[in-house]
Amino acid sequence: MNVLVVNTKAYREGTGKNALELAKMMEKVGEEYDVKMIIAVQPSDIFMVAEEVEIDVYSPHMDAIEYGSHTGWILPQAIKKAGAAGTIINHSEHRMKIEDIFMAMGKAREIGLKTIICAGSVEVAKAVATLKPDYVAIEPPELIGGDISVTKAKPEVVKNAVGAVKEINRDVEVLCGAGIKDGRDVAKAIELGAKGILVASGVVKAKKREEVIEEMARAMIR
Amino acid sequence: MNVLVVNTKAYREGTGKNALELAKMMEKVGEEYDVKMIIAVQPSDIFMVAEEVEIDVYSPHMDAIEYGSHTGWILPQAIKKAGAAGTIINHSEHRMKIEDIFMAMGKAREIGLKTIICAGSVEVAKAVATLKPDYVAIEPPELIGGDISVTKAKPEVVKNAVGAVKEINRDVEVLCGAGIKDGRDVAKAIELGAKGILVASGVVKAKKREEVIEEMARAMIR
Amino acid sequence: MNVLVVNTKAYREGTGKNALELAKMMEKVGEEYDVKMIIAVQPSDIFMVAEEVEIDVYSPHMDAIEYGSHTGWILPQAIKKAGAAGTIINHSEHRMKIEDIFMAMGKAREIGLKTIICAGSVEVAKAVATLKPDYVAIEPPELIGGDISVTKAKPEVVKNAVGAVKEINRDVEVLCGAGIKDGRDVAKAIELGAKGILVASGVVKAKKREEVIEEMARAMIR
Amino acid sequence: MNVLVVNTKAYREGTGKNALELAKMMEKVGEEYDVKMIIAVQPSDIFMVAEEVEIDVYSPHMDAIEYGSHTGWILPQAIKKAGAAGTIINHSEHRMKIEDIFMAMGKAREIGLKTIICAGSVEVAKAVATLKPDYVAIEPPELIGGDISVTKAKPEVVKNAVGAVKEINRDVEVLCGAGIKDGRDVAKAIELGAKGILVASGVVKAKKREEVIEEMARAMIR
């Protein structure tokens, strides 16, 4: 099933009750169009959102730590218990050390969290694919948060990322991020070989959020 | 009112339902002995715990960020909305840049979060006192998690920290951390001028947690 | 004696032989005008520059470490042996944790390195003054690298920083950074109570570097 | 040609003139035994050492930066100009973000610096091999600085790392680090498929340094 991941970042429109409201919209649209919906919310919102919706709630990050003396770091088991189904790893706003990505991947597998590792280039996408995440999200940093989608500006990046990742491991799926704004961007991403998209402001800060989600979901199943 | 702060760190015994159970014990003892109780829980546990108890729930850390594109960092407004009454800042397991401490302090004041800044030395206690937190917690790093309390091993550190902090700003209270294990440690901390204590494993990993909390609370009001 | 500190950052114009050439200009002008000259060069350039000039060569940063297993970090004793007379600490492009600033200060004092701690606000200037550096350089981050000097845009920041620092410790001198471009900026800084200036692109990237240095030196002794 | 890399870390015995003395020993032994010698010294020692010896001098780290406003970070071009022939990347004491490793690799290739990327596990060795460094140094973190060499404690780690790296790219050579103490460890490393070794305290803190270097070089050419 194709996947629509919405990252609420630290946007006001994606914090607290706003996150819950958005998750409910996604749940509704996801059921209607048979698209897998994932919402990444701030750690302090995971519990509240996960209690109320059936879609997968992800943490936007987790630290490479075990139970113990790690005050103020995000514990994998804690987000899992709070209701998280998975986590983003190495987001462009929270890059991680390669050794920590490896440790976090092992921990995620051990306790049953799904993983999306972000990568800013085809080369990094290939490198992290060796660590067997569920998804690699390719997001050229210069396009993140911008008005031009990666599918328009650099379609070859998406295509090459799919090729590089699949060459390493056929089971790892590629998501397409950075600048995704509408159904056409989504359709193009799928056409280029992506399994879905990772979107933030394009949905969270949209005026008509439900319509945008619906348009994207529809584009995904064509 | 004197203060007992319990930091659950990333201990298994302080994660998820264990955190809630502990918070309820603290609530009960706090009411009985008229001691202010504060529990710092992982961000993903704040909502669940804050909904169920009346005592103050703190975040163990928050990042110096505003609403915006800050995926995976701890947003002050998010923990506040989730129910946090305050936050620890600069814990020895999560040291912060001085500029970020300053920014975080400003943000905490703006949105109404209480603050405990940790310091590993009298000199740093003095430096951060200039930023006007509610509390400075003095914890010599070599004693944290150990079996000897700072009040026994280095009582002059607590006394000097109280002196240094009060010289900068009389309104800032000092908490005593590192190795606090029993009522005698607590009584000594109060005697040395502290307003309360910051304790982690001494309570969270104790076999008889409620008894330890009670013993500490009793020592605080003598 | 008033002080002119030039930070060569990682500018091409301040790397390798370019750093040496600049240091020689500063040496010449410094002697002529009786102004203390300090040049901060990259760690790998300290040895070469310090061998050839009499002015003070500083490291742009040093880490809070001791002799030992710290591969790839900047060891205080190593820069000292290479010829450094001092170091910048907590530059806006390399902010440090408060505990590390404290440790680095102690190490600098122990082995005889002078220290300039940078601060982006009056409040942080006051906080770090408690740690007794030789200089606190006040540089509002929003002005760094810009075309308007702090003395023009926010003269009160310089004045208040001088006041706040001197209130904590009369022996700590204040330097004025951020956007310093010409003699008038320098004269104004001195008038506002600064002991000197910390300048980077204004000198290093100037077309006529020697003239700018001379103009600044002249303004300093008026 | 097989390779002996000595990392002087921030050891007193490897700082300043001590680094130079060690480099000269390595130069002499290297010529005698026809073994390629590489010494990694602190950035502030690169210039002095590189001027005096013919062997390759490496930086222990470099940051993923370009010419510009990056005060206090290690600029690739600066270490190159100072005389470095290459750099260690991602040492266990200085782990790097995967995106920064990728950027640093590109920069190294562009300006002609050789690269050794360290990895703490077979999986990370494989991941970084996709970035085409000259060498991948495999060093299980639990053995670094210890008394048991990886070749004794975990020979399969070295063998598997060689296999994993060569599967990704046949041109990338593997070095064996962590706990290498004598000629037998070296001979075993070569036997397991390594092209050489990365050693620190085993040489730098040895009582008879020249003898140890000679023993290791001899073991390398058997």
From the list D71, D75, D201, the residue facing C94 with the nearest CB is D71
Please give the pLDDT value at position C180. Answer: 87
- Give the mutation candidate from C98, C103, C126, C172 for the B interface (greatest B CB count, under 10 A): C98
- Give the mutation candidate from B44, B81, B144 for the A interface (greatest A CB count, under 10 A): B44
Please give the pLDDT value at position D111. Answer: 98
Quick one: what percent of chain D has pLDDT higher than 90?
88
CA B210 – CA B192 distance, rounded (Å): 25
Question: The tokens of D135 are what?
Answer: 């060498």
The minimum CA-CA distance between C118 and chain D, rounded to whole Å, is 12
Question: The tokens of B178 are what?
Answer: 């590192």
For residue C121, list chain B residues with Cβ-Cβ distance below 8 A. 99, 102
Q: What is the pLDDT of residues A174-211, one digit of tens each?
A: 999 877 889 999 999 999 999 999 999 999 999 999 99
Q: What residues of chain A score a pLDDT lower than 50?
A: none
Please give the pLDDT value at position C214. Answer: 97
CA A25 – CA A30 distance, rounded (Å): 8
Identify the band that residue D113 occupies on the pLDDT scale cut at 50, 70 and 90.
Answer: very high
Q: Nearest-CA neighbor of D40 among D79, D1, D96, D95?
A: D79
Interacting residues of A31 by C-beta distance below 8 A, sequence separation 6+: none
CA B220 to the chain's CA centroid:
16
Tell me how long chain C is: 222
What backbone phi and psi angles, to 5 degrees, belong to C85? -95, -15
The minimum CA-CA distance between D222 and chain C, rounded to whole Å, is 31
Q: Alpha helices, DSSP H only, in chain D? A: 17-33, 43-52, 76-82, 98-111, 122-129, 150-153, 155-168, 183-191, 201-204, 209-221
> Is A139 one of the annotated active-site residues of the chain?
yes
Q: Nearest-CA neighbor of B84 among B69, B74, B99?
A: B74
* Residue carrying the six token digits 């209270």: B173
The minimum CA-CA distance between C167 and chain B, rounded to whole Å, is 11
In the complex, which subunits touch C with 3 or more CB pairs below 8 angstroms? B, D
CB contact under 8 A, B78 and A44: yes
Interacting residues of A157 by C-beta distance below 8 A, sequence separation 6+: A121, A122, A138, A140, A150
> Are the C-beta atoms of D212 and D22 separated by less than 8 Å?
no
Q: Which residue of B has its CA nearest to A62?
A: B72
CA A173 – CA A158 distance, rounded (Å): 12
> Are the C-beta atoms of B206 and B174 separated by less than 8 Å?
no
* Residue carrying the six token digits 């280029």: A192
Amino acid identity, position B44? S
Q: What residues of chain C score a pLDDT lower than 70?
A: 145, 222
What is the sign of the dihedral through the CA atoms of D193, D195, D196 and D197?
negative
Output the CA–CA distances (angstroms, integers) from residue B199 to B19, B45, B101, B178, C171, in the order listed. Answer: 14, 19, 22, 7, 38
Identify the band that residue B85 occupies on the pLDDT scale cut at 50, 70 and 90.
Answer: very high
Bridge partners for B114 per DSSP? B86
The model carries a pTM of: 0.96
Identify the band that residue D172 occupies on the pLDDT scale cut at 50, 70 and 90.
Answer: very high
Please give the pLDDT value at position C200. Answer: 95
Q: In sequence order, what E strands does chain C have? A: 3-7, 36-40, 56-59, 86-89, 114-119, 135-138, 173-176, 196-199
CA D82 – CA B144 distance, rounded (Å): 43
Q: What is the pLDDT of residues B167-201, one digit of tens each?
A: 999 999 999 987 788 999 999 999 999 999 999 99
For residue B111, pLDDT beyond 90: yes
CA A170 – CA A153 distance, rounded (Å): 26
The minimum CA-CA distance between B222 and chain A, rounded to whole Å, is 31
Q: What is the mean pLDDT of residues B47-54?
A: 98
Question: Which range has the worst mean pLDDT, A176-190, B127-141, D202-216?
Answer: A176-190
In the complex, which subunits touch A with 3 or more CB pairs below 8 angstroms? B, D
Please give the pLDDT value at position B151. Answer: 78
From A139, A173, A214, A215, active-site residue: A139
Residues of C that are catalytic = 91, 139
* Residue carrying the six token digits 């208040």: C160
